[in-house]
A and B are shown apart, each in its own frame.
Chain A
Amino acid sequence: MLEVTDLKKQYKQTKAVDGVNLFIEQGEIVGLLGPNGAGKSTTISMMSSLIPPSEGDVRFLNESVIKQPQKLREKLGVVPQEIALYLNLTARENLQFFGKIYKMDKKQLGAKIDQVLEIIGLVDKQNDLVKTFSGGMKRRLNIGVALLHDPSLVFMDEPTVGIDPQSRNYILDTVKRLNREKNMTILYTSHYMEEVEYLCDRIYIMDQGHIIASGSKDDIKNILSAEQTFQIETAVVKEEFTNLLKEHPSVRQLTVQEKTVTLLVPKEVVFFQTIIELAEQTNTELKSVQVQKPSLEDVFLHLTGRALRD
């Protein structure tokens, strides 16, 4: 359905996107995972024909989007990371305005607005000014506007940033439902690992303008199939303890977050006893030691040496 080839974007001295290749098939939910500043939004802007790439091409149904953006735009819905709404208009007025600029028939538009309001759960609030909405409601309307013209392909750029868990779950369920019931193809970008794990069939991991890994969730996790993750909770993380762990030849990666130390160690190594010994040696009080299945977060850590939200 959509194919991106060697996409690049350079701003003076900065390469925001550097040779991205990806494809999306009809009916898929594809995740684009990466930390802030990885180049996800720039990639989406180029894919949706809003900014021209420095190099490369984007093809939608085998036609170049760069040369002929109209065809893609008719079928594309974009949910920007920002709340791209008029705060001094009501929810319904916003939907009416954006529906009209899509040249939708007046009667058809009315029915479509009712349907979208139902999907995003804002029927009761349709006549309230958007500025009175909570963050989650604004995000839902932000999605609703992108659904008005029945797009077959939707790009969602971090649609859950800065909202409460309840609204976040509502949005995630909505995305799932749109895909399942309307066979909508969705490209979902996020730096929330769990969202991508929950929603997506395939995943692209992006960092510093590059795609550093891609495939199904299992494919990506298999990158770490040769390793195991230890999560050590301590009373106080002592520098001496972490230094000894780092220096150990079996430790591939080590991160510290507050009182938790996370280690990547080859699967064949029996490392539990070593942890106990090093803790005793440095008088570190251990609260718990867990061996975990690798997560996408671990994969990202493994590939970049940094946590996703660094």
Chain B
Amino acid sequence: MIFNLVKKQLLLIIRNRQNFTLLLAMPLVLVFIIKFAIGDLMHQDVPEIDAAVAIVEHTNEEEDIQRLVDELMLLPMEEGDKEKIKNNLSSFQPIQILKDQVFGHEQLKEMFTLEEITPEEIEKAKQEELYTAIIEVPAGFSYELVKSTIFNGKSDAQLTLYVDQGEDFVANIVKDLLLTFEEQMHTSSVLERNGLADLMVMPEDIKGEIHSISKVDPVSGTTYYAVGMSVMFVLYIASTMGSYAFEEKRIHVFDRILLANVSRWIFFTGTFFASAIIALAQLFILYGFCAVIFGVHWPNVTHFLLISLGVSLAVGGIASLLTAINYRFQSETASTVFSSVIITVFAFLGGSFYPVGNLSELVKFLGDLTPNGAGMSAYLTSAQGYGFSEIYMYLIYLLLFTVVMILAAVWTFPKRGKEA
């Protein structure tokens, strides 16, 4: 019986061109327009980094370190201490560490290509902007740096960084990397000097500044608006189904259904399931188009399906409540108000137009209370590659929301003898 009710609703909605346009074509068109009109304003797209960095050494690091070792050997120390310092310094070559362990790190290697150039090539490289950044190692850099750290003195040894002003974003990353590198070199030396070598920070840790962009996938503007429009337009299923159900009452089809000895609760259940199934179909169609046209893909399909199911059930719940209110008050006003006012407010709070959750915690909290907002947060969290532990609370909320809607609808729906 419920299958027949669902099948009939599907046929009706498919054959209504106006609804088809509203529920499927319009969100796609809007995503398309927004993508090209205001997508860049969001600054959500993180550019892929593929930069060339040059390093110029005005010195020979091995000779610098050897010079320092030779000087230390002349100092009045016990032979055992001299041997220990000699061994330690031979493996402590800051520039080599920068080249091998920082820029040679697996993740950074994908972003930066480090090339060694001669001092004579610097001017040409600068003029022709061959590199995003050029690191210049001054003469005696390693000697000065290591000496100052061993004797706790002040060092004037500084790396010089030339950056291509046209590529601020990448140049800033290189700058941060070098600053962090220098800081870590000093810290390592101080710790070692004070017998705290175990606490030394290893060169692998010198990538803190880029950690935030490599841990999770960023959400592109296109993905954001595909989700925003989908969770907004799926709400129209609820108002449409509420209106359809009321039309069935207005033209006495509902009477015919009752006269066939079909319980009003079966009709009611049919409305819930038909709405949820149609909402799910709408989401699949929209995201299917977005995948093909805009390249919006989901890192975890199971999570995507679970979130879509949660959102669809919530839509079914809203449709049931709207149907119940329409029947109770013998008017389509509830559906009209929902589609013309409440969806707009929900869409705003939920972040369909702009990530308003960034404005304040309160707005984010309110947004997550809306079914579209909760769905959107879940979708975006999933799109960033987070695991189930980060989305399950949204799913639980959507289920709770559905249950509350159904209970409210059952309470509102006119019972037998009350002239539904």
12 further interface pairs, Cβ-Cβ under 8 Å (given A74-B261, A97-B4): A52-B417, A52-B419, A73-B259, A78-B255, A80-B255, A82-B252, A84-B255, A86-B12, A88-B12, A88-B15, A93-B11, A145-B256
B255 with A50: CB separation less than 8 A? yes
**Does A276 make an interface contact (CB < 8 A)?**
no
Residue among A49, A70, A98, A129 with max Cβ neighbours from chain B (10 Å): A98
A: residues with CB less than 8 A from B are 45, 48-52, 70, 73-74, 76, 78, 80, 82-86, 88-89, 93, 97-98, 100-103, 129, 145, 149
Given contacts A73-B260, A102-B260, contact A84 B4 (CB under 8 A): no
Chain A hits for B11, CB < 8 A = 88-89, 93
- A70 CA / B258 CA spacing, docked (Å): 10
**Does B257 make an interface contact (CB < 8 A)?**
yes
Secondary structure dominating the interface of A? loop
Bitwise interface map of B from 235 to 275 toward A, beta carbon under 8 Å scored 1, else 0: 00000000000000011110111111110000000000000
Given contacts A50-B255, A82-B251, A82-B252, contact A101 B16 (CB under 8 A): no
- A50 CA / B253 CA spacing, docked (Å): 12
Residue among A70, A100, A149 with max Cβ neighbours from chain B (10 Å): A100
Residue among A51, A80, A86 with max Cβ neighbours from chain B (10 Å): A86
- A97 CA / B15 CA spacing, docked (Å): 16
Partner of B256, one of A45, A52, A98, A129: A98
A101 with B419: CB separation less than 8 A? no
Query: How many residues of B are in contact with the other chain, CB < 8 A?
Result: 21
A70 with B261: CB separation less than 8 A? yes
- A82 CA / B251 CA spacing, docked (Å): 6
- A48 CA / B258 CA spacing, docked (Å): 10
Residue among B256, B260, B262, B417 with max Cβ neighbours from chain A (10 Å): B256
Partner of B252, one of A84, A89, A101: A84
Chain A hits for B417, CB < 8 A = 52
Partner of A73, one of B252, B253, B261: B261
A-B contact pairs, 15 of them (CB 8 A): A45-B255, A48-B259, A50-B259, A52-B419, A78-B259, A80-B252, A82-B251, A82-B252, A83-B251, A84-B255, A85-B251, A89-B11, A98-B256, A101-B257, A102-B260
Chain B 276-318 interface residues, beta-carbon cutoff 8 Å to A: none
**Does B8 make an interface contact (CB < 8 A)?**
yes
B261 with A76: CB separation less than 8 A? no
Given contacts A82-B252, A101-B1, A129-B15, contact A89 B259 (CB under 8 A): no
User: Smallest distance from the beta carbon of B16 to chain A beta carbons, Å?
Assistant: 6
Chain B 1-56 interface residues, beta-carbon cutoff 8 Å to A: 1, 4, 8, 11-12, 15-16
The list of the 10 closest CB pairs from A to B, nearest first, reads A84-B252, A88-B15, A80-B252, A101-B260, A100-B4, A102-B260, A84-B253, A52-B417, A82-B252, A82-B251
